[in-house]
Structure formats: C-alpha cells, structure tokens
Amino acid sequence: MTTETLIWLIPLPPLLAFFLIVLFTNRSRGLSHTIAIGAAFLSWLGSMVVFLRAIQTHELGKHPFSASIPWLPLGEGWFSIGVLIDPLGAATLFFVAWTILMIFIYSVGYHNYGQPEGDHDRKGLPPHGATVVDEHGHQHTVPSVEPMYSRFFAFIGLFAFGMYLLVVSDNLLTLFVGWEIMGLCSYLLIGFWYGKPSARAAMIKAFITTRVGDVFMLLGIAYLYSQTGTLNFREILYSQEVLDSLASTPSYIAGLSAAALIGILLFIGTVGKSAQFPLHVWLPDAMEGPTPVSAMIHAATMVSAGVYMVIRIFPLLSAGSHHGALTAPMIVMAIIGAGTALFAATIAVAQNDIKRVLAYSTISQLGYMVAALGIGAYIAAAFHLITHAFFKALLFLGSGSVIHGMEHGVLHTDDHIDPQNMLNMGGLRKKMPITFWTFLIGGFALAGFPLVTAGFWSKDEILADAFGHAHYGVFITLALAALLTAFYTMRQITLTFLGEPRTKAAEHAQETPWTMTLPLVILAVFAVSAGWVGIPEHFPLLGGVVPNWFHEFVGETLLEKPKGVEFNPIPLLTSIVVALGGIYLGWLVYRNVKAGEVDPLEKPLGALYPVLRNKYYFDELYELIFIRPSIWVSEVFTYLWIDRKFIDGILHVVADVSVKVGAFLRNYIDKPVVNGSGDLVADVTKSSGRSMRVIQTGRIQQYMMMALVGFVVLSGIFYYIVQRMGVQ
C-alpha cells in the first residue's frame, strides 16, 4: 500500500465505528467498545506506519506525502481535497494517534465496564452506584456501569475522525470540516450527562463561544480563497510568490496587508477553539463532561487543533516580515498568548476542583504556544504542543483516576462529599500508587522540572527564544506564568496525594483497574521521553549528545529552515529557578492543610482571592454585556418594537385607514357603487376578519369563485392597460 493511500485511510476506522455502534451494536457494551478501540487501534497503526516512513524520507519538507481528488467545483476549476503529511503533520499525527488510543482504552475502565447496572441510574446522568450482596450476605455499594456506555464510544469515535481528518488535510476547507465535526462532538460530549442542568448549560456555552471564533475563521478562509483562488497548504504556504503577493496586497483595513488580515481572522478561530482570552470562558465549564472527554478535548485534540492550525499557517502569519520583525498578526498573538498564559495561571491557583485546575492550566499552556508562535519561535511552539499533549492527557486521565478512586470511597463510606474537591482528598499516594507516580511525572512535566521532563525542554526553548530575540516583555510574562504553573501544580499534587487523608472517602479510595492505569503508564513514558528529541545543540553537557532531531525534522516544514538561538544562561537559569521555586513553594504552603481548613492563601491574598476564585468575574461580565443586551435586542427591540409595533403597526394603520376610507366612501359618497370589491378588500383587511366566517361554512364554490374573480380582475386590469396603451 502506498503511503498516500494509507493516509487517506487513517481517519476512516473511527467514522466506521461510529456508524456501526449507532446503527447496530448499541445494545452490546462489549461489542461497542471492541469496535471503537479496534478502530482507534487501526488508525494508530496506520499513523505509526506513516510516521515511520515519514522520518525515513529524505527531505520530507520538500517532498511531502500528498494526494488529492476533485470535490467541489468552484470558479474556474475544481476545488480539490486531499491529504498531506509533511514533517509537522507527521509529528502531530504521532501524538494524536497515541493519545487517542490511550483515551479510548481508558474509557472502558472509567465507565465501569464489567460492573453491575445501577439501582437508580438513568440515561443522561452519571452512574450512582449499585448495591451488591457478597457471599457473606453483606451489602456493598459499588460503582455501576455508565447507562449510555455504547453511545459514549460512538461519540468519541466521531470525534477521533474529526481530529484525524484535520491532521491529514491538505487544505483549509477539510481542516475546517474536521474542526467543525470536533466542535459538534465536543458539544455532544460535554453534554453527555444531559440530565444535569450544569452540563446542558456548559454544552451550549462551549458550542456558541467556539462558534464565534469559527465564524471569523470562515471569513478568513473566504478572504484567503478570494485572494488566491486556492486553499491548498502547499500552493499557499510553500510558495514564496503567493505569500509575497498576499503580504504586499493592501486589505480593507488601512495599514494591514491581506496576509495580515487573513492571519488575524484565522487566528480568531484559534482563540475560540484553543480557549484563549477573551473566548476562554467555555473551557472550564466544559469539565462537566466525563473525564476522558476532558482529556480528548482539552489535551490531545480539540484545543491542540487550534494551535496546530496557526502553526500550520505560520508562513502566512509571518508573510512580509523582514529580518525577524514581527507582523501584525504575530504581535496580536504574542500579546494574547502571553497575556492568557499568565492570566489563566493566576486563576488556576485559586481553584479547588481538580479538573478545573487542569482546565485553566491548559488555557495557560496554550497561551504559551500561541505566544511562542507570536514571537516567531515556530519549532518551540510545535514542540510544546506535542509534549503538552502527552503530559496534559496524562494529567487529565490521572485526575479522572483520582476522582474515580474517590467516588469508590464515597460509595463505600456513604459520606457524600464532592469527590472532585482537592480539599477533600489528601494522602492518596498510598491508596493509588500508580496514579500517584504517573500524576507526579505529568505534574513535574507541566511544572517544567529541569532536565528529566519533556515539559522542561519545550518550555525552556520558548523562554530561550523569547530572550534570544529580545522580546523581554513576553519573556518576563511567560517566566512569571511558569512560576505560577509550578506552584499550582505542586499545590495540586500536595493537596491530592501527600499528607494524610482529610475525609473518610479519601481513606477508602481505591486504585483503579488496569484499563485506566495502563494508559497512564504509557503516557508517563512519553511525558518524560518526548523531550529528549529536542534538546538544543548548544545546551551545556547534554547538547549534542542526542542530536536535536525535532528541530531538524519539523524545521523542514518551512521554506527557510529557522536557526536555533544561541545558548544563553539567563533563560536557562530562569526556567530552572521558576520551576524548582514554584514546586518548593507549592509544597511549603500546602503540606499541612488539615481537614476542614480553608486554602492557606485565602488570608494573605485578601480581596484578590475571591477575584481569582471567581475567574475575574468574566462569566458575570459577559452575561451583562453580551447575553442580556442580545436578548433585549431580539426580544424587545427587533421583535416587539420593530417587527410587531412598527412594521405591523404601519400595516394595521393602513388597513384601518382603508376600512375607514371605505366606510366613508360607502356611507357618504357613493354607497351603491362601492359595494363591490374595494369594500370587500378593505373590510377583510381588518384583522378581525369578520367576513371570513362565511368561509368556514365550507362552500368551496365560493373560494373558487373568489380565486376566479381575483384572477379575472387582474387579467382585466392588464388587458385594459394593454389595450389603452396600444400594441406597438
């Protein structure tokens, strides 16, 4: 099989699985997850083969794997759709395939496969547990299987299809198709437990917020197409001519080139999808979905897709840049990215829900990547995208495992506490050792623990790039964010796993089954090793021992391979200090939190704490400035005032006047003559429609007569005018 054929086939198995499960096997849980995981495995296998062939291909950047077929006839020629795997695509495919397969396997355990059905479980609500009687006659409450088990696998199958489609696309349009499919699936999956009102609200919020970004992206696509007549990556991004002409064409907005405006519009799509400020509000609420969904959406796939897209179109974003000067879209990205990175990190510090901390951390890390791209650190951004996908998927799955273990404790002790609140945990390292160690690895990678973790290498590269190119503002912001990241990560680890259990439920927490821990272990391996492929050449001691393969490989995607920055000890020292300092501080502050105590930071932070805790009141602000006014505009202004009062009002006045005029004419001027059609029209115009009552008697002939009369009258007028004016 040629590599191109294989690439075409990669997205299909999950799609097929979706249809198979929905149509045929939704009654059998085992069959459904076998099909879904089998499909994910096939896609994974295909991806690995493609990846291996890609890294063996000499100069893949110049000769990527690609193929296309004509699909939509537009303008002069056909719009072709096809597949493309270049170095960036191959690297993305690698991490997407691994994380998706792991998440699929994990879902089996997470949804309690093999457990009894719940006593009172209903579709659309999380399982509440089942009562079983053991051989000694004791009653136990154990976790029960998810009531919509098969449907979950169908949805994630469709989701995986969207992601694979996006990665293998050779053009913006099919990329957008994959993008939208994922948007739809995330809507369905966030609201998977649609019985919970909070989940319903979250699904709507996520969909609408990302849709705002999508609309601008669509405009960007339309603009790009109308400028260049193509949406194919190779024809636009690999062609210096096209890029130059886009960069020199002025756009509708003064001072911006067409390339810049297109870039900004497309970037707004990323702002929505990757939850960047100011469209970040949906992501924390999206935690209402089941945990594997959070990992899918917020680590491996959907949010990464946003960053992947901007990395993909980087040549367009930087078109027209001379000697490393930043273009308008790059400045926008640097500001929004760095700002989001810091802003979200501060919120994460004050969250107590284990998943919400990770959600804000994701927003913050995505901001890192966006900022990196904004300052032109193309490879660093791609590198962080990949390492982050591994360790964040690990952390989300790990947190799911913690919640699962806690739920077990809650059911066992009948102590109804919130199993997601970290203040209710503590001491879980003894109960859940595998989860603990893997979570620790993931957490340290996120914190950027020096040398051994993947997160260190990718984060360090971003900081080194920012410093090396003298973007000190970005450098300082990101360094501060890194400090906070290390702090809240250690806070999370300390509160969850270290110290003593703070509740009875935490005492009875239990390690999760192998289907959940195996993916954790595999992802943990990547959370460490994924960093080794990108160690800079000039790094003290380690540099050059392992070649900087990632830089060489992915760098080829660009027309002009970017140069690595000179080694400088300042950013390196900074990243080591913030990582270790943050970790130490986190441990120091939270190591002694006792049961029932509040967060130790609450007092010293004073008035700032509630602000952070309430996420800077953005939800409330948006409610006030967007949601309420738009309801008012639609309900009161447009519908009631304009539509019903003004337009209909005019109509009714006209009708009324014509009735009155008719009455006047009839009574005072020409009663016998105006008895005909004019009066009829005027009379029935009145909304009361009194004369229409005749119709309900069912005398069809009358209607026919009316139709005929109307027609004859019209023809009569016509004929009269024709006769009068004469035929020339």
Binding site for another protein (CB under 8 A): 70-75, 124, 173, 176-177, 180-181, 184, 187, 194, 200, 203-204, 207-208, 211-212, 214-216, 218-219, 221-223, 225-226, 252, 630-631, 633-635, 638-639, 642-643, 647-648, 651, 681, 684-685, 687, 689, 692, 695-696, 698, 700, 703, 706-707, 710-711, 714, 718, 721-722, 725, 727-728
70's tokens? 């004509």
Q: How far is the CB of 644 from another protein (least distance, A)?
A: 9
Q: Which is nearer to another protein, 54 or 148 (CB)?
A: 148
Q: How far is the CB of 270 from another protein (least distance, A)?
A: 17
Q: Which is nearer to another protein, 15 or 91 (CB)?
A: 15
Cα 662 versus chain centre, distance: 63
Q: How far is the CB of 659 from another protein (least distance, A)?
A: 12
Query: How many Å apart are CA 418 and CA 426, to the nearest integer?
Result: 13
The helix (H) or strand (E) run that includes residue 66 is strand 65-74
Backbone angles phi, psi at 232, to 5 degrees: -70, 130
Q: How far is the CB of 212 from another protein (least distance, A)?
A: 5
Q: How far is the CB of 112 from another protein (least distance, A)?
A: 24
Q: Which is nearer to another protein, 138 or 693 (CB)?
A: 693
Q: Which is nearer to another protein, 323 or 724 (CB)?
A: 724
Nearest Cα residue to 615 out of 423, 352, 350, 278: 350
Query: How many Å apart are CA 163 and CA 100, to the nearest integer?
Result: 9
Q: Which is nearer to another protein, 504 or 652 (CB)?
A: 652
Q: How far is the CB of 175 from another protein (least distance, A)?
A: 10
| Residue carrying structure tokens 């009562």 | 131
Query: How many Å apart are CA 632 and CA 624, to the nearest integer?
Result: 11
Q: Phi-psi region for residue 324, left (φ > 0), alpha (ψ -120 to 50) or beta?
A: left
Q: How far is the CB of 236 from another protein (least distance, A)?
A: 16
Bridge partners, residue 297, by sequence: none
List all residues 6 or more positions away from 421 whose beta carbon is below 8 Å from its beta carbon.
352, 353, 354
Q: How far is the CB of 70 from another protein (least distance, A)?
A: 8
Q: How far is the CB of 307 from another protein (least distance, A)?
A: 21
Q: Which is nearer to another protein, 570 or 651 (CB)?
A: 651
Q: How far is the CB of 627 from another protein (least distance, A)?
A: 10
Quote the DSSP letter at residue 171.
Answer: B
Distances (CA, A) of 65 to 3, 73, 98, 236, 319: 7, 24, 21, 17, 24
Nearest Cα residue to 457 out of 391, 530, 526: 530
Q: How far is the CB of 184 from another protein (least distance, A)?
A: 7
Q: Which is nearer to another protein, 669 or 727 (CB)?
A: 727
Q: Phi-psi region for residue 72, left (φ > 0), alpha (ψ -120 to 50) or beta?
A: beta
What stretches of 513-568 show up as alpha helix (H) in DSSP? 514-529, 549-555
Q: How far is the CB of 110 from another protein (least distance, A)?
A: 23
267's tokens? 């970037």
Q: How far is the CB of 211 from another protein (least distance, A)?
A: 5
Quote the DSSP letter at residue 232.
Answer: B
Q: Which is nearer to another protein, 27 or 138 (CB)?
A: 27
Q: Which is nearer to another protein, 16 or 219 (CB)?
A: 219
Q: How far is the CB of 32 from another protein (least distance, A)?
A: 18
Q: How far is the CB of 438 from another protein (least distance, A)?
A: 37
Q: Which is nearer to another protein, 224 or 397 (CB)?
A: 224
Bridge partners, residue 208, by sequence: none
Q: Which is nearer to another protein, 414 or 648 (CB)?
A: 648
Three-state DSSP at 353 gives strand
Apex 634 CA angle, 630 and 637, nearest 5: 105
Q: Which is nearer to another protein, 414 or 643 (CB)?
A: 643
Q: How far is the CB of 404 from another protein (least distance, A)?
A: 27
Q: Give the up-direction half-sphere exposure of residue 383: CA atoms within 13 A in the CB hemisphere.
A: 32
Q: Which is nearer to another protein, 547 or 689 (CB)?
A: 689
Q: Which is nearer to another protein, 470 or 647 (CB)?
A: 647
Nearest Cα residue to 218 out of 265, 256, 285, 149: 265
181-211 residues labelled b (16+ CB within 10 A) or e (exposed): bbbebbbbbbbbbbeeeebbebbebbbebbe
Q: Is the Cβ–Cβ distance between 141 and 131 less than 8 Å? A: yes
Helix axes 454-468, 514-529, angle to 10 degrees: 40
281's tokens? 């509000």
Apex 303 CA angle, 299 and 309, nearest 5: 125
Query: How many Å apart are CA 91 and CA 556, to the nearest integer?
Result: 12
The helix (H) or strand (E) run that includes residue 653 is helix 648-664
Q: How far is the CB of 702 from another protein (least distance, A)?
A: 10
Sign of CA dihedral 162, 166, 168, 174: positive
In this structure, the number of other CB atoms found within 10 A of the CB of residue 340 comes to 27
Give, rounded to a whole angstrom, the gap between the first and last alpha carbons of the chain: 74
**One-character DSSP codes across 281-328:** THHHHGGGS-HHHHHIIIIISHHHHHHHHHHHTHHHHTTT--TTPPPH
Written as one letter, the residue type at 219 is L
Q: Which is nearer to another protein, 331 or 684 (CB)?
A: 684
Q: How far is the CB of 155 from another protein (least distance, A)?
A: 13
Query: How many Å apart are CA 583 and CA 489, to the nearest integer?
Result: 7
Q: Which is nearer to another protein, 122 or 594 (CB)?
A: 122
Q: Which is nearer to another protein, 407 or 683 (CB)?
A: 683
Q: Which is nearer to another protein, 195 or 562 (CB)?
A: 195
In this structure, the number of other CB atoms found within 10 A of the CB of residue 421 comes to 16
Three-state DSSP at 211 gives helix
Q: Is the Cβ–Cβ distance between 325 and 373 less than 8 Å? A: no
